[in-house]
Structure 1
């Protein structure tokens, strides 16, 4: 069975049926948000989860979604009109598309066009459920390096915007892409993605007539086909599906300057968290506010409250992020304090220095059979413990994962907590391996600092680590990752154990 749930078929999890709602580009209207709340209340347990692809998941559903509900979701533009392609991964885009001060191009029209292409071409149904595409418009909130098969990243060449085509070779979790040296005009992007998908389809070892595509046990991934054929041969086959040759442009061999995507804001760790807090938009007098959603979980009271805020004080739009938070955009400046207060009244937050701003957790053992630990509840308990004990002045990414799969976050974190169990006096004890900073290419979660810490001991250990980091760092803008990378593990252990 596919590891990618959808709306039109059952996916069982430990806590019941799991349903995923694709949200192309992560953008929802307040009306759509409310209908999702109704669905979570009527069929689930009254909450949703924002995923690392800016989807929404409804967990613990007690029965299959009735046809009448699916029709409502289709009518309001949430569910695909072609159920056969609903299993495909969400199209990713920056949550600040169209409002970012620094973006080179608004990618929302391209995302809509690609989604329309997918949902009107049922012949794409045999694609692997993990087939994935991202558009990065070159703004301050980048998703260009997020894990996808195909990344289209905006660049400026001779005062014209193009998209650089990057393909995932599956060779590294943290540096997966190869630059093809191909530049695409914006109007070519969807056609080229379609051609890439067609070549991929032609080489899938799949007996379409004997299988249900979204329930197939294992299909070759895009990067496997790419590696088997070789990039040049693959791209030659792609060109046969196009009415024009692909435009090659090697930066190394050209004197023309390419202006890369906007990346750096103040040269500090905050550049990674421009999706949190209050930020000016490109539209004069308007701002967006990034809302911290602790471990990505929203109850239906919060969903409806956020929909009310977006309707009353903004433009009735909510933007989900792949960091499992969300934005409310187009807010006149005079309403910012009131919105901040209302967000806090919902039990949510809006500051990048809140301990929850970069706290990530997978589903945990209450919902996933692969997880050894109750990651989401442990993460929330840790945040509550640290609230009054540690005052941060910059975000620290703490990642709880219940197993080695790292479903919730595909990038390295400041602190990674990898769950596993031990038996102590006949009882199973939940605990974590603690990893920090960067490691070599073989160290998926960074360098191992402690091999086993029970959860009961974990909050006080992290409190000590964070307090020592705040006291011992050389400068206030030194990130936790930069701080720990200055030490060998033995010295770091002595520092944190003193």
Structure 2
């Protein structure tokens, strides 16, 4: 294992967590083949806790590692294409793209070659090791499954202008935690790599390579001013940056990848599989790899929503794949309560967390599954502290862990936020404080049932529904049965 300034977990960097050593494996674009899946399962069994977690950047995390991963094993993983070929840049955040790249019926351009080209560029330019470990790039192909709203330092999103495909350039500027801002710049696809390289070069020029705490790109751009930053980028390019007044319409389809969908390749389908809280037991990883090999093209695709896709399945095999998924203990229904349930590692894995988020989330799902039926996913996010590591965007319902002292005992509670807030409200609008774990299930059930009864439009999301009301009105709506406490 290497040492250095990297503070984010990586494959070649020891990162201590509450439950042991944590290793994060970068999976550019989230694409894995079946052999790589088996190799990762072996590592999780031999060195870790016998499971892996899919992250909100489509990485994989191996947790509960006891003594680290042997150098020979790391070399073997590199030879298999797992982790970066250049360990010096392995700490840089995973490159994000739509999990349906190349198979989406509506996409404008396949972004997989762009992911591969940028990953190759990073590997071949070791000076980029000076980038912040949180330096992040995303590509969106303009399809039905969009990643355009995900938090990235740089986002390149495909649009169609006068029958030609371009990428809109967006940068992370302004307040922390907000999506990248569209700069009104259109890039021809063949210019994207050059622009990314120039953006990174200017960033490095204004960063201290000896600083342990490296500035984020957002901070550098804010300090320089966006126009100044772009001027310095333009000076490094042999072509002008094309400004436009074009406005793109955002796509809202966060969980549209779940379930069974036709691909752009005739006769082939993909299945979006629900992973409860993004976790996969090693027997499930191996089982999915074998399914992909037997019925598809041997590929698994991880998603930024902590689920995965099995792709290239002929229609005649769909019934067999569905049956085998059930045998693996997995589901593929978008209305599954666990389909949009998110939780950080909680106090079992992180010293910063006040609550056992994963256990509380699963208990909530178990309580609700026989009491509430959903028409479409509702994003419920459990965060053990204010950092919000598991999900950086607003959810429908956010529960932030808070520990209280009562009668010389520590009581785990949650503050509850709903919908979207203003620029100063990181989690949305606060509606309840210090809700105990025992009180939580009945309250959430009541909130969801009121939404289903009161919402006149079945296609309206929970977030949009609650944003139509003031907090006092919502409390009154939700209060009818919340007075009675229950235990899990």
Q: Smaller-chain TM-score range? A: over 0.9
Is 1:405 the equivalent of 2:393?
no
Partner residue, 1:136: 140
Partner SS for 1:301: helix
Is 1:382 the equivalent of 2:370?
no
User: 1:164·1:181 contact (CA, 8 Å) conserved in 2?
Assistant: yes
Per-residue CA distance 1:184-226 (angstroms, 9 max, x = gap): 111111111011111111110233xxxxxxxx63111111111
Partner residue, 2:228: 233
When the two structures are superposed, what TM-score results if normalisation uses the length of structure 1? 0.93
Partner residue, 1:126: 130
> 27, 30, 35: which one pairs with 1:31?
35
Give the whole-Å Cα distance in 1 for the aligned partners of 2:249 and 2:72: 44
Per-residue CA distance 1:401-439 (angstroms, 9 max, x = gap): 001111111111111111011122211111101111222
Partner residue, 1:158: 162
Deviation at 1:363, TM superposition (A): 1.0
| Cα pair distance change 1:482/1:246, threshold 3 Å | closer
Is 1:62 the equivalent of 2:44?
no
User: 2:6·2:13 contact (CA, 8 Å) conserved in 1?
Assistant: no
Partner residue, 1:213: none
Give the whole-Å Cα distance in 2 for the aligned partners of 1:155 and 1:37: 38
Partner SS for 1:343: helix
Give the whole-Å Cα distance in 1 for the aligned partners of 2:120 and 2:249: 26
Is 1:146 the equivalent of 2:150?
yes
Aligned length: 476
Give the whole-Å Cα distance in 1 for the aligned partners of 2:61 and 2:249: 31
Is 1:292 the equivalent of 2:280?
no
Partner residue, 2:347: 365
Partner residue, 1:102: 106
Give the whole-Å Cα distance in 2 for the aligned partners of 1:276 and 1:438: 24
| Cα pair distance change 1:316/1:364, threshold 3 Å | same
Partner residue, 1:242: 237
Partner residue, 1:301: 283
Within 5 A, what are the aligned runs for 1:410-429? 410-429=392-411
Partner residue, 1:267: none
Deviation at 1:262, TM superposition (A): 7.6
Q: CA RMSD in A?
A: 1.5
Partner residue, 1:167: 171
Partner SS for 2:347: coil
Give the whole-Å Cα distance in 2 for the aligned partners of 1:280 and 1:3: 41
Partner residue, 1:195: 198
Is 1:217 the equivalent of 2:205?
no
Give the whole-Å Cα distance in 1 for the aligned partners of 2:250 and 2:388: 28
Give the whole-Å Cα distance in 2 for the aligned partners of 1:475 and 1:250: 34
| Cα pair distance change 1:36/1:170, threshold 3 Å | farther
Per-residue CA distance 1:56-80 (angstroms, 9 max, x = gap): 0011101121111111111111121
User: 1:93·1:111 contact (CA, 8 Å) conserved in 2?
Assistant: yes
Unaligned runs of 5+ residues in structure 2 are: 481-488
Moved more, 441-450 or 356-365: 441-450
Give the whole-Å Cα distance in 1 for the aligned partners of 2:478 and 2:226: 47
> 255, 258, 274: which one pairs with 2:256?
274
| Cα pair distance change 1:247/1:488, threshold 3 Å | closer
Deviation at 1:443, TM superposition (A): 1.6
Partner SS for 1:125: helix
User: 1:11·1:18 contact (CA, 8 Å) conserved in 2?
Assistant: yes
Give the whole-Å Cα distance in 2 for the aligned partners of 1:4 and 1:411: 19
When the two structures are superposed, what TM-score results if normalisation uses the length of structure 2? 0.95
Partner residue, 1:210: none
Give the whole-Å Cα distance in 1 for the aligned partners of 2:118 and 2:460: 40
Give the whole-Å Cα distance in 1 for the aligned partners of 2:240 and 2:251: 31
> 468, 473, 476: which one pairs with 1:491?
473
Is 1:13 the equivalent of 2:1?
no
User: 1:139·1:262 contact (CA, 8 Å) conserved in 2?
Assistant: no
Partner SS for 1:384: helix
